[in-house]
Structure 1
Amino acid sequence: MTRVPPSGPHLRSSAAALFGTFLRRTREARGMSQGELARQIPCSRPHLTRIENGSRVPQHDLVTACDRILETGGELLEIWEEVDWYVQVDHPDWFKRFVLIEAKATSIHEFQTSWISGLLQTEAYARALFTVGDAAHDPQLIEERVVARLARQHRLTGPDAPLLTVILSETALRLTVGGPQVMRDQLRHLLRMGRRPNITIQVAPFSLGERLRFSTSVILLTSPGGAVRAYSESLAHGRFLEDPQKVREWRQRYDQLRAEALSPQDSARLIRSVMEGLLNMDSTTIDFSKASWRKASYSGPEAGNCIEIADNVPGVVPVRDSKDPEGPALLFRPDAWQSFVTGVRKGEFPAAGH
């Protein structure tokens, strides 16, 4: 499918605004509220608001979900694919060679110590990182770097997508970048990307200790001809290691680390656990003023230990102690809460003492 060529920095914002308007009008034509669409995607309502007003570029998975929920027959995705969202910008000189080799690599093996891999970062997460870097006081430079980083991700979902294996130090999951909401969306994005057939995500837990194998981030790139290059990066520069013997040593250390890291399934469970913890860290930012709370139908005025939930809070199911309505609420993802309720109805949770 032919993409619209970029003509300047204004194209991205114009495309985002037009797409956002089309999405909003389609949603309204279906009689669906913004909150309801956000719940079904799922994503946060503020994130969907930013997409509809054109201040955020929608990602492939979100557009696919909207296509399905709004029953547009692929029209939304077709429009999204017609647009070249990311204006090409120059990378720093020391990074240009890496980007050129990465763009042709058939497989990428990566270990990250402190941050989520650039190939798996959300727009908000990437922007938060650049905001505290050397571009901190230059909004235009921050935007250019965010665009450049996201542009590198398009290959992961294309027909020539490389095999990507990413091992993340547990530190990368637990460092809250951009605040709980940004970090939560980032971890949710990791879970989505980890379900793609060409992407494997594993976590190196704290318990590995000295067996972590690497003290810095490392990337191994395999070219179409089979040549493997190793790349490591600091804040100020990056360097390639191309000596075949050294590359073999790094590859061996990487394979050992991968064998000791959590499996993809266990890694997903840890990511989900960290994400749910962030959900409750951020509960003070959720507006409960219009929440409609309810208890179980058999709970009378003399009931003892009762909980109550609200069904109309976008993106989450809050649960609180009915005897302490002004107290804190635990927040659960709608799908997690529904799984719990289904399990209770099926008798999967035996009563205390049984």
Structure 2
Amino acid sequence: MARRKGISVRQRRVSAELRSLREARKLSCKDVARALDCSESKISRMETGERGLYVDDVAAILGFLRAPATIRQELLALVRDGEERNWHELHGKLPTTWTNLIRIERDAAAILNYEPMFFPGLAQTPDYARHLIHGTDPALSEPEVDTLVSARLSRQAIIGRRDAPQVHLIVDETVLRRPVVTPEIMRAQLHHLLALSERRTITVQVVPFTSAAHPGLRGPFVLLEFASEPTLAHVESRNSSSFLEEDEHIDSVRLAWRRLRTIALSPEDSARLIASAAGELTSDKEHGP
């Protein structure tokens, strides 16, 4: 197995943001290189992670692109800590950690996501996301809920791209049955997941209730695989999240994924179970009091 190489996840985050800021200004790498009196290949390699990042270079690019002060401070801090492996963040109500995940996962060739309690963010409908966010943190104001819903749904743009990554979602059967939203919203969510499973780039599996103890009981995770960079793992709890890079961590998460993929129902049987769960909600509504 190839051992860890390449730039750290912090540097990947900076590289992705440099590219995003440039594209937002509708500038080419050549435009930036000309303004900073350097080669076009240098700018391109900084954006793709093929070149190490230095504070002076990044500061010059951010200045030319007129990046807001808060973004400049955040990215320069990441460059200074760029050689550190693994990235642990404490986060509050607003989705800074989701922004980091969105920026990093958009370059992924494959996204492998296990969820034991809720539908994966990449597969949530707007109504489901809103009810879930509000229900799990009732102290949030409506504007804060709106912001979090928008951030969560913005992740889904990646699965609609022409060059969409391969996405493999595994959920516990509990996800299909837990009544965290109204029956109408739940039914729509189940149909949405079923529709996603029919896409060429998306695989959906369900771990049935009948499964014995397994690694997924320890919590949700995302594995991000890249064409030319090492795999990352992203894990999240209520008040923090972490990007894991070290080989021992990645090997452990990958082993858990392989086990879950083995014990889960086949994609075909999973689709039938999802359809059955949606049908039961329809039947309950039709035969209710």
TM-score by length of 1: 0.53
The answer to whether residue 195 in structure 2 is matched with residue 192 in structure 1 is yes
The answer to whether residue 261 in structure 2 is matched with residue 258 in structure 1 is yes
The answer to whether residue 125 in structure 2 is matched with residue 141 in structure 1 is no
| Structure 1 counterpart of 2:248 | 245
The answer to whether residue 111 in structure 2 is matched with residue 108 in structure 1 is yes
C-alpha distance in structure 2 between counterparts of 1:134 and 1:95, whole Å: 17
What is the aligned residue count? Answer: 198
Amino acid at match of 1:160: D
- Taking the TM superposition and a 5 Å limit, the aligned residue runs for 1:147-296 are 147-283=150-286
- Aligned CA distance change for structure 1 residues 147 and 254 (closer, same or farther; 3 Å): same
- Decide which structure has the larger Cα Rg and report it: 1
Aligned with 1:256: secondary structure? helix
C-alpha distance in structure 1 between counterparts of 2:262 and 2:218, whole Å: 17
Aligned with 1:165: secondary structure? strand
Sequence identity (%):
34
C-alpha distance in structure 2 between counterparts of 1:213 and 1:253, whole Å: 7
C-alpha distance in structure 1 between counterparts of 2:239 and 2:288, whole Å: 44
1:126 Cα shift? 0.3
1:166 Cα shift? 0.5
Aligned with 1:104: secondary structure? coil
Amino acid at match of 2:238: L
Q: Could you list the per-position Cα deviations for residues 44-103 of structure 1 after superposition, in whole angstroms to 9, with x for gaps in the alignment? A: xxxxxxxxxxxxxxxxxxxxxxxxxxxxxxxxxxxxxxxxxxxxxx95334432222112
C-alpha distance in structure 2 between counterparts of 1:93 and 1:144, whole Å: 11
The farther-off stretch of 231-240 and 95-104 is: 95-104
C-alpha distance in structure 2 between counterparts of 1:247 and 1:237, whole Å: 19
| Structure 1 counterpart of 2:85 | none
Amino acid at match of 1:240: F
- Aligned CA distance change for structure 1 residues 214 and 254 (closer, same or farther; 3 Å): farther
C-alpha distance in structure 1 between counterparts of 2:165 and 2:203, whole Å: 11
- Aligned CA distance change for structure 1 residues 214 and 244 (closer, same or farther; 3 Å): farther
| Structure 1 counterpart of 2:78 | none
TM-score by length of 2: 0.64
Q: CA RMSD in A?
A: 2.1
C-alpha distance in structure 1 between counterparts of 2:248 and 2:165, whole Å: 24
Aligned with 1:262: secondary structure? coil
C-alpha distance in structure 1 between counterparts of 2:125 and 2:165, whole Å: 19
More helix by share: 2
- Aligned CA distance change for structure 1 residues 94 and 142 (closer, same or farther; 3 Å): same
| Structure 2 counterpart of 1:348 | none
Unaligned stretches of 5+ residues in structure 2: 1-23, 25-92
| Structure 2 counterpart of 1:123 | 126
Unaligned stretches of 5+ residues in structure 1: 1-5, 7-89, 284-327, 331-354
C-alpha distance in structure 1 between counterparts of 2:111 and 2:153, whole Å: 17
C-alpha distance in structure 2 between counterparts of 1:269 and 1:250, whole Å: 28
1:213 Cα shift? 4.1
Q: Could you list the per-position Cα deviations for residues 288-316 of structure 1 after superposition, in whole angstroms to 9, with x for gaps in the alignment? A: xxxxxxxxxxxxxxxxxxxxxxxxxxxxx
C-alpha distance in structure 2 between counterparts of 1:94 and 1:148, whole Å: 10
- Aligned CA distance change for structure 1 residues 155 and 91 (closer, same or farther; 3 Å): farther
Whether contact under 8 Å (1:204, 1:261) holds in the other structure is yes
Whether contact under 8 Å (1:101, 1:223) holds in the other structure is no
Whether contact under 8 Å (1:110, 1:166) holds in the other structure is yes
Q: Which structure is richer in relative contact order (CA contacts within 8 A, separation 6 or more)?
A: 2
Whether contact under 8 Å (2:124, 2:189) holds in the other structure is yes
1:144 Cα shift? 1.6
C-alpha distance in structure 1 between counterparts of 2:98 and 2:163, whole Å: 22
Aligned with 2:210: secondary structure? helix
1:201 Cα shift? 0.2
Aligned with 2:179: secondary structure? coil
